[in-house]
Amino acid sequence: MTQPFYVSPEQIMKDRADFARKGISRGRSVVVVQYADGIVFVAENPSQALHKVGEIYDRIGFAAVGRYNEFENLRIAGVRLADLRGYSYDRRDVTARALANAYAQTLGTIFSSAGEKPYEVELFVGEVADDPAHDQIYRLTYDGSAADVDGFGVMGGQIEQVEAYLTEHYTAGLDLAAAVQLAVTALGQDSDPARTVPAASLEVGILSRARSQPRKFKRLLDAEVEAALGA
């Protein structure tokens, strides 16, 4: 008769965290940058159909790294939550904070539940306000921790190199073209020497307070990305 080995809770959690972290670091990075008119999400994503960046609500955007089926599931859940809340109360009552909370609770529960494998995802949830001081960006990790992002953020892939470049070169109040250039150059820092990421394999979504429509999210077309990079 075999005796089950005793595994300490610390070890279980560490194993689960290692598992999730490994999955997340396999892909390419996603960068979020605050610019003068809002927030820009930039992902390296050769696929035109499987998006990493998406719209959640009027002022709320989403970006993710990790396993596609898992973060797509979370994105759809977020859209449903936001639409239901906006329909039940008012469009102004849908906030990134509430959404980030719901994601944190869900990811945390899945992470610590023995029956489920942890989600191998990390998320950015951004909300654009009427002025830059009130813009909000949250970063949600696989274990349900949530953190505020100030100015810029990176997740997935080779975080250290990308983040080091952004820390060195980011300034507040960039215009859109400069913010996109900064983010794209930063994404290319994950190899030595740095790569140039072609516009066709970039996915760029913006939340812009300059848009007159209530829906502030816009996906930039390839031509618009090229124009921003060429500027």
Interacting residue ranges for another protein, rule: CB under 8 A:
49, 51, 54-56, 73-74, 76-81, 83-84, 86-88, 101-103, 105-106, 109, 213, 215
Nearest distance from C-beta of residue 83 to another protein, angstroms: 5
Q: Which is nearer to another protein, 103 or 124 (CB)?
A: 103
Which tokens in the block code for residue 193?
């020497």
| Residues 6+ away with beta carbon under 8 Å from 147 | 138, 139, 141
SS3 per-residue string spanning 20-76: HHHHHHHCCCEEEEEECCEEEEEEECCCCCCCCEEEEECCEEEEEEECHHHHHHHHH
Nearest distance from C-beta of residue 119 to another protein, angstroms: 11
Nearest distance from C-beta of residue 66 to another protein, angstroms: 16
Nearest Cα neighbor of 54 from 200, 215, 189, 227 is 215
Q: Which is nearer to another protein, 8 or 213 (CB)?
A: 213
Beta bridge partners of 38: 35, 208
Nearest distance from C-beta of residue 126 to another protein, angstroms: 15
Q: Which is nearer to another protein, 173 or 214 (CB)?
A: 214
| Residues 6+ away with beta carbon under 8 Å from 225 | 180, 199, 202, 204
Report d(CA 164, CA 178) in Å as an integer: 18
Nearest distance from C-beta of residue 90 to another protein, angstroms: 11
Report d(CA 191, CA 199) in Å as an integer: 18
Return the ∠ at Cα 73 (arms to 137 and 151), rounded to 5°.
10
Q: Which is nearer to another protein, 77 or 178 (CB)?
A: 77
Q: Which is nearer to another protein, 56 or 162 (CB)?
A: 56
Nearest distance from C-beta of residue 49 to another protein, angstroms: 8
Neighbouring CB atoms inside 10 A of 62's CB total 27
Q: Which is nearer to another protein, 16 or 51 (CB)?
A: 51
Say if residues 154 and 29 touch (Cβ distance below 8 Å): yes
